[in-house]
Amino acid sequence: MVAFFSRKRVAKYKYPEHIVVIEKLPRTASGKIQKFLLRKDIMRRLTQDVCEEIE
């Protein structure tokens, strides 16, 4: 659904290559989102996908 919605409204060069749905965002004790943990997790997922494609 997200892909259908965004492809109609976003230019092709702006469309994201990957869309990841995360159920619960990592947060600090004060409630701020820990963006560095999100980046780390996404990089891990992307490298796993690339490794699986190579094998």
pLDDT, greater one: 49 or 14? 14
What is the pLDDT at residue 29? Answer: 97
- Domain extent listing, the chain: 2-54
Length of the chain, in residues: 55
| pLDDT higher at 5 or 21 | 21
**pLDDT band, residue 54 (cuts 50/70/90):** low
pLDDT at res. 37: 94
Report, as an integer, the average pLDDT of 1-27.
76
Tens-digit pLDDT profile for residues 22-44: 899 999 999 999 999 999 998 88
